[in-house]
Amino acid sequence: MDLPEEPTGATTSSAGDHRQARRRICTDGCGRPTNVCLCHVLPSTPLSTAAKIVILHHPHERRHKLATVPILSKCLRNCEIIVGRKLKYGQSKLLDSLYDEACEKPDLPLNRALYLFPGPNAYPLSELNRFKSSLDNISADNNFILIFFDGTWKHAKEMVSASSSFLSKFAVQVCLDFDVGVNGGTIFDSELILRKEPFAGCMSTMEAVARCLRFLEPNGIDIESKIIEVLRAMVSFQACFLKPFKPRTKLTKTDERKNEKNENTDSLY
């Protein structure tokens, strides 16, 4: 027996409801559209850390749907977000206090603040045991500080350069393992990458914070795993909207011409 066709109006209404559901925002939790809500993987309460996190968030990233900083700030209790293109005096009471202290006591060792960015002059974080041990000697009112730059890699490089005169007074540049001679990963070959990375070792701000806290926090492994779980869910949602990769038609035709030319050349010998 043939089934009755669904009324056209019902189909239109169903599609409209679906689009409306996609536009609906989870205002009481993660702040993302309800169809990609991350509330089920967010920590029930923001994670406490001995370190204080400061992130310079490029203005363009505020409009980017794949920005991880808004979600990261919901995972961590001690996380300060500064929107701008450079760090300078007057943006953060925390950083201002470090700057003032460094000016008053120029002989004071730079062992309280680290800013993460790969480069030839950056200390590998895995070798800075003296920073890790210094955590035990810092009082509750004088916590360790980690500084990150959030933006495209081009923007982040510009942000670090513009902020260097301010940071040089009180912070040390560090990095995680990286290799500029190896291509970076993509969402197609990693469950933790949202956007194509320029070289090996590059990662999102969210993953970078998690990796640093693993090394520096007393319970760093647990903190890292909880942040990575949220990032993995975020990447998984994004991967669902990707279309299978197909070679460009123009490139395919070019390859075909090359193959035909090679076949013709081989036939002459």
Domain-embedded: residue 199:
yes
Reply yes or no on whether the pLDDT at 188 is more than 90: no
Domain-embedded: residue 266:
no
Residue 54 sits at φ, ψ, to 5 deg, of -120, 125
What is the pLDDT at residue 79? 96
Reply yes or no on whether the pLDDT at 26 is more than 50: yes
Domain-embedded: residue 91:
yes
Give the Cα separation of 66 and 34 in Å (integer). 15
Domain-embedded: residue 57:
yes
Residue 232: domain span: 32-240
Q: Which of 85, 121, 100 is nearest to 170 (CA)?
A: 100
Reply yes or no on whether the pLDDT at 269 is more than 90: no
Cα distances from 162 to residues 11, 149, 158, 169, in angstroms, run 54, 12, 6, 14
Domain-embedded: residue 247:
no
Give the chain's domain count. Answer: 1
pLDDT tens digits for range 71-128: 999 999 999 999 999 999 999 999 999 999 999 988 776 667 999 998 888 888 877 6
Q: Are 174 and 116 in contact (CB under 8 A)?
A: yes
Q: How many CB atoms lie within 10 A of CB 138?
A: 15
What is the pLDDT at residue 61? 84
Domain-embedded: residue 47:
yes
Domain-embedded: residue 225:
yes
